């Protein structure tokens, strides 16, 4: 009855299931068939009529994105700041719920049954918890992980944890610390966005499965789990390219810059957008004989984790989560280094206008209150801002 109730409520409200139905059909198409689908969407939404025309378009960057929505019916969301360059993105209302449909399909690929609960860590307080209850999803604010978060988890006994990697690491460490590691043995993690380097080695022994998803604010889901341990590129959502420093496509299996195009977004057009992350792409054939592209060896948005006697609470994603919301009008780029033995946090910044460290004092006060550490500010030197420094959002130096 609950499943039937969800389908009725969804049809009357968000209409996520119509997208899910579409994605499940597209899921079975071959690469050439999906290429035809992609160019059809680009012709319809972006006015790009051929692949030759598409590849003649220039590579774009954050600075090329519009400063206001290009249509009147849209939803707005802000980047989490995980790139160190906060940005507002607008999405057409007609395609807003595609992201959740992709999530739902990925849970299905990982073996979710209708009765299984998903514990979803998300930015901000949930706005549609009443809707999620009907589909057995429990949303919770990862910026407010407390004892209640742990108690809720133990009460509903979810089979899946879905959310940004840094918050998943923080939450799982809290469960382990409180002696609840045993409950994780039946849990499948869907690690979203951030690099899983080191974190996977730590958490994988405790859980039933560890799978990765990769996405951006500019293209919410670039790749999702295929159920066989890979990040499958979601060709139904956008076009993914891997290029070198000169903008030329690299051979499959060669590392390069990740470039994405969202052919559904007419509010903030994302066309051949170089996000800054690096990775490799290859063709993969699954156990059913279907071939598709996968992403791997992604270098992007790494967050170190540390919990020692020098800090009041664990170092992780939470140490930078307020930056994009409190300093977004002051700085355009940033990175954090933490030296717990020296009781110091270093915030590297690039000011939007004139240098004014006083405007950063709120962050210094917050760090001292929350972590018991002092904060130093340094200018983020352009020559130091290479790909490997850029993508270590939080670096812990012991």
Q: Are residues 309 and 282 in the same domain?
A: no
Print burial letters for 200-227: b (CB count within 10 Å at least 16), e (below 16).
beebeebbebbbbbbbbbbbbbbbbbbb
Choose the final residue of a domain: 299, 314, 346. 299
Q: Are residues 159 and 285 in the same domain?
A: yes
Query: 284 is written with which tokens?
Result: 């993969």
Q: How many CB atoms lie within 10 A of CB 355?
A: 10
Task: Give pairs for 55-59: CB < 8 Å, separation 24+.
Answer: 57/271, 57/272, 58/272, 59/243, 59/247, 59/259, 59/272, 59/273, 59/274
Q: Are residues 77 and 198 in the same domain?
A: yes
pLDDT reading at 368 higher than 60: yes
pLDDT in tens, 36-57: 999 999 999 999 999 999 999 9
Q: Are residues 201 and 234 in the same domain?
A: yes
Domain that holds residue 186: 2-299
From 109-123, 222-236, 369-383, the region with the lowest mean pLDDT = 369-383
Choose the final residue of a domain: 229, 264, 299. 299
Q: Are residues 269 and 376 in the same domain?
A: no
Q: Are residues 113 and 154 in the same domain?
A: yes
Q: What integer pLDDT is reported at residue 387 of this predicted model? A: 53
349: CATH: 3.30.300
Q: What integer pLDDT is reported at residue 385 of this predicted model? A: 44
Q: Quote the pTM value.
A: 0.85
Q: Are residues 319 and 274 in the same domain?
A: no
Number of separate domains in the chain: 2
In Å, how far from its chain's centre is CA 256?
19
In angstroms, the CA 180 to CA 182 distance is 5
Q: Euclidean distance between the first and final Cα of the chain, in Å?
A: 54
Choose the final residue of a domain: 252, 271, 299. 299
């Amino acid at each position: 009855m609950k499943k039937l109730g969800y389908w009725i409520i969804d049809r009357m409200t968000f209409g996520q299931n119509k997208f899910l139905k579409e994605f499940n059909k597209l899921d079975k198409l071959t690469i050439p068939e999906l290429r035809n689908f992609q160019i059809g969407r680009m012709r319809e939404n972006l006015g790009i009529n051929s692949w030759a025309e598409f590849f003649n378009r220039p590579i774009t960057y954050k600075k090329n994105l519009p400063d206001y929505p290009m249509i009147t019916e849209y939803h707005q969301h802000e980047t989490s700041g995980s790139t160190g360059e906060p940005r507002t993105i607008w999405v057409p209302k007609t395609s807003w719920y595609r992201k959740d449909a992709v999530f739902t399909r990925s849970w299905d690929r990982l073996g979710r049954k209708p009765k299984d609960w998903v514990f979803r860590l998300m930015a901000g307080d949930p706005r549609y918890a009443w809707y999620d209850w009907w589909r057995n999803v429990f949303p919770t604010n990862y910026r407010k992980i407390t004892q209640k978060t742990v108690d809720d988890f133990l009460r509903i006994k979810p089979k899946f944890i879905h959310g940004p990697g840094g918050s998943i690491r923080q939450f799982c460490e809290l469960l382990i610390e409180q002696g609840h590691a045993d409950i994780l043995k039946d849990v499948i993690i869907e690690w979203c966005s951030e690099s899983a380097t080191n974190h996977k080695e730590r958490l994988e022994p405790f859980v039933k499965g560890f799978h990765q998803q990769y996405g951006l604010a500019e293209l919410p889901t670039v790749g999702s789990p295929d159920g066989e341990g890979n990040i499958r590129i979601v060709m139904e959502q956008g076009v993914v390219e891997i290029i070198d420093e000169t903008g030329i496509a690299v051979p499959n299996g060669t590392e390069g810059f990740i470039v994405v195009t969202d052919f559904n977004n007419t509010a903030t057009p994302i066309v051949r957008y170089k996000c800054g992350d690096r990775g490799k792409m290859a063709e993969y054939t699954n156990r059913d004989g279907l071939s598709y592209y996968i992403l791997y060896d992604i270098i992007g948005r790494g967050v170190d984790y540390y919990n020692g006697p020098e800090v009041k609470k664990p170092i992780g994603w939470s140490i930078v989560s307020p930056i994009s919301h409190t300093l977004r009008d002051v700085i355009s780029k940033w990175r954090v280094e933490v030296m717990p033995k020296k009781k110091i946090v270093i915030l590297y910044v690039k000011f939007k206008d004139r240098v004014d460290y006083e405007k950063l004092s709120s962050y210094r006060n917050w760090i001292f209150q929350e972590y018991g550490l002092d904060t130093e500010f340094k200018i983020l030197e352009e020559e130091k801002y290479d790909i490997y420094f850029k993508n270590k959002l939080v670096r812990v130096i012991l």
